[in-house]
Structure formats: C-alpha cells, structure tokens
Amino acid sequence: MSTAETPSSSNFIRTIITDDLESGKRDRVITRFPPEPNGYLHIGHAKSICLNFGLADEYKGRCNLRFDDTNPTKEEDEYVEAIKEDVAWLGFDWGEHLYFASDYFAQLYLWAVQLIKAGKAYVESQTAEQVRENRGTLTHPGVDSPYRDRSVEENLELFEQMKNGDFPDGTHILRAKIDMSSPNMNLRDPALYRILHAHHHRTGDTWCIYPMYDFAHGQEDSIEGVTHSICTLEFEDHRPLYEWFLNELEIFAPQQIEFARLNLSYTVMSKRKLLQLVNEKHVNGWDDPRMPTVSGMRRRGYPAAAIRTFCERIGVGRAASWIDLSVLEDCVREQLNESAFRRQAVLNPLKVTITNVPADRVEELVAPNHPQQPELGNRTLPFSNELYIERDDFMEDPPKKFFRLGPGREVRLRNAYIIKCDEVLKDDNGEVIELRCSADLDTLGKNPADGHKVKGIIHWVSARHAQKVAVRVYDRLFNRENPDKAENYLQALNPESLQETEALVEPSLLQAKPGETFQFERVGYFTADSKDSQAGKPVFNRTVTLRDTWAKMKA
C-alpha cells in the first residue's frame, strides 16, 4: 500500500522528520503504532495508524506494530487479533515488526535495578492514599517520602522481594527519585512498578510486578530504535519524564512528538465508553455498524480507502479540533461513487401496472453496472407489466417543480421506458394503492419520437421478479454533536439509530457477497452484512445516504 492515491499535504511532523534527515540527526525513519489491547480500534486510532505507517512509507522507513500490554487486568488476546485484522484491512503492513511490551519485561526489570543502583529509584511503602496526599498539587509542592532515602541495598532487596511475590498488591511501589517540588507533576517521583498478582495474556504468571506505562513506553521505543515516537497531546507533559528515563539509562533516545487527537461529532471515542456500549448492549458488539470502530465501519461498508482519504484530509496539527461526521461520510460517498455497482431497489413500494404491456410478457433489459464506467459490464433487469416504484416518487397533487409521477404526468423508468400515469386507484381510506400507467415502448434508450422532453427518472423493480431482503437503515449513534456534553453520554444515544426494514430488490442482488457494496440508485449505498448474510439471502446495511441529509435538516 502506498500513499500515492492521496497526495500528501505537508504537516508539522513531516517538517520535523525532513529536517532531522537533512541535518543528519537521523539517518532513517522508524515509527510505531502502539495500541493497548484493551478494546477494538476506532477511527481515532485509524488517524494514528495512517500517520505512523504513512510517514514510514513516505520516508522508506518502517512502522512497528507494538502492543502496549503492560496492564494485565484489562488486556486480552481477542483484542490483539482484532487490532491486527484492522491494521491490515486499513492497508498497512508491519512485516516482521510485530512486538509486545511484555517481550521487554525482563529488560525493563534490569533497567529498574540499574536506576536503583544509581540511587535514582526507591521502594515506596506508604499507602496509595498517603502517596497521593504527599504528591502536592499544581500550586503546592509535594512532600518527600519517608522512604526516599532508603539505602541502595535495602531498595534492591525489597524490589527483588516485590518481584518474587513476597508482598500483596498495593503494599509497595518502585518510584523514580526525581523532584517532589517539580512544577511538572509527572516528575514528582513517578511510579515505575506496581505489584499486581494478575495473570497476563502472554507472560502468564511469570510476573507479579508490572511496569507503569511511562516507565515502559520510552524504553520500548528505544529498544526498537524508533526515531520519531508520535503520540497525542495529553502526553506532552510526560515528555520530560520520557526523556529523563532515556537519559539516566543512557540508551538510544527517540524523539517524542505530540499531535492533537481526532474528535468526531455524534460519537464517542473513549475505549471505556465503547466497552460500556458493548457490555450493556446499547449496540450489538464492537463491530456494530453504528460504532466508530474500524471493524464497525468495515461491516457497515466503509471502504478502507475512504478512511485513509479522511485521515489525510483532516490533517495533523496541534490544536484540538472537532471534525464533523459528514466529512467522513463524504469520503465514503466519493469512494463508493467510483466503485459501487448500481442496482435498483424499492424500500417503500407503490404498485404500478403498465396497461399496454401484456401480462405474460417479460423483457430482459440490459442495464450497466456503472453508468460512467462501461468497462464494469452490465446485468439484466426483468421488466413486466407489474412494477413497484417508491411511494415518494408519486404525488397526487404535485408542485410544479416535482418532476416525478403525478396524475397525467410522465416520468422515465431508470434503464427502461417513459411511462404516463393515467389512473390512480385508492382503497376505502383514500390511500393510493396502485397507479395505472401506459408506457411509450419506443423510448428505450431514446427520447420520445415527437421530441418532447421528460425530466424525471425514477427507479423501479418488476413486481413478479423482485426479491424481498432485510435492510438495516442506520443513523447516527448519538443525536448530540458532543455526547459528552450530556449529563450522561448514554442519554444522548439516538433511539432511532437502527431501523430494520425490508426492500424489494432486483433479482441479481440475491447473489451479493458478504461485504459487497452497491448503490441502490437514488436511495443510498448498501453493503451486504458480513455476519448475517447467507448464500442467496443477503442482509443489507445502509452504508451511507447519497447526500448529506443531516446538513439539509439543519439548514
């Protein structure tokens, strides 16, 4: 995969990297994507993936996929597998460079011992509560721990006992000895190791002490020779600590560079909240097509290329920003407009009888798969005297600008003839139940013989041949731009985010393969669900509407 399809605009990280290569500070580019395997990837992660793998591609370097699995209580192999699948689906290849923080546990332990020996780390035996109290605040310095001056020997012995499992959880931690009055709270003797008698998804019960994220991350980058360690802005205040460790340990020092995380309207991105949506069944799993997860978007039918285009288009900066969901949807539309085969499907049917076509006649019309790309071939479309059209495409008393069907009016049937509505049949309640129309059978692919113009085109299916399929019409998962502004974000859930309905579709759609996307002409893009479709019995997810209907509603 290359970034050639989306010309790279410049961003401040590219500038830093180019300068580093030109000045000789670096002779190559190694980046990494470091997910914690405690949930599925979301669109924010996709931004980080496109950035890290994209830069590596661009500078002919490499990007490592590294699982930051330092927290055994929340991490699972299921997440590791899902994350690998998502990164690969997005079009990126880590080659042999698949790593786990847990592979470095032994080395990290040795480095902790090294810091103790250098008098730069000590075993803290105050309670967690006391440690918190003595840490001070942004306006008040912290207080030195009574254990801060333990001898190197005592610290070594205690740390070894911690490792051997001699103490219960929470009784001791290993802390760096930096500065309890630093204005940067991260430098007030941060924790390096904690005791956790927990089973790790990869190391099992080998360890009962686990490194803290801050003590692990920079050293992992260093071991892997990462040149540019790109992370989100909340780590800016951790950078001095990141550099302190590398400096004290005298090991290769990658450069940490922060950028603003992606926030997307009408959704939430915190893994804790996404997990809650899944666990409390507000959605049907991590890959529910309404979720902002990569797997949800894939199942909904978003092409990987559209997500890459989106990530490139929104750019990389340092100012916190909110991106409107419609920007992503536009990328999806642009991509699908190019690639999706066209089909006809009616969601809200109204019967039409063509009075001048004999009941026993079936015509196999030829319709292109894509009107702008004849090389994509054709399919046949059965036409008969009984059709269904969309109820919305008929109005009994239409305004002047309505170019579809009304009493006495003409319209072209897509890929077929021009018809005229001669008669409107109603039931006892006055509801329109059928239109009786005549077709001009000399209008297949051409205008009427007398040269008059018919403006409107509507889609249709042959009643006898149409197949009923299940359709899931998705809308935004939340009905507030920023769900976190609600008292509880769950209150902002859109109760109408999923509507299950049916469509009458042209017969060829029964062959839709799971994951295949079509444009139902004039209706929207629909993708055969990858889980619930069966051979000959697809279930369609609405991927995206043809236009941005939300923008119109707000206007």
Residues within the interface to ligand ATP (CB under 6 A): 34-36, 44-45, 47-48, 231-232, 261-262, 269-271
Which DSSP string do the residues of 453-516 spell out, in sequence order?
----EE-EEETTT-EEEEEEEE--SBSSSSGGGSSSGGGGB-TTSEEEEEEEE-GGGGGPPTT-
Nearer to ligand ATP, 203 or 263 (CB): 263
Catalytic residue check, 261: yes
Nearest distance from C-beta of residue 48 to ligand ATP, angstroms: 4
Nearer to ligand ATP, 42 or 459 (CB): 42
Nearest distance from C-beta of residue 272 to ligand ATP, angstroms: 6
Nearer to ligand ATP, 286 or 388 (CB): 286
Q: At what angle do helices 325-339 and 304-314 cross, to 10 degrees?
A: 140
Number of other CB atoms surrounding residue 71 within 10 Å: 20
> Chain centroid to CA 197: how far?
34
Catalytic residue, candidates 84, 135, 202, 261:
261
Nearest distance from C-beta of residue 314 to ligand ATP, angstroms: 10
Nearer to ligand ATP, 68 or 410 (CB): 68
Q: Residue type for 288, please?
A: D
Nearest distance from C-beta of residue 459 to ligand ATP, angstroms: 39
> Chain centroid to CA 16: how far?
28
Nearer to ligand ATP, 45 or 201 (CB): 45
**In three state form, how does the secondary structure of 225-278 look?**
CCCEEEEEHHHHHHHHHHHHHHHHHCCCCCEEEEECCEEECCCCCCHHHHHHHH
Q: Residue type for 184, please?
A: N
Nearest distance from C-beta of residue 214 to ligand ATP, angstroms: 13
Residue nearest to ligand ATP (CB): 44
Cβ(112)–Cβ(193) below 8 Å: yes
Strand arrangement of the beta sheet that strand 349-354 belongs to: 457-458, 410-413, 418-426, 432-440, 349-354, 386-390, 460-462
- How far is 68 from 87, CA to CA, in rounded Å? 15
Catalytic residue, candidates 14, 36, 135, 363:
36
Active site residues: 36, 261, 271
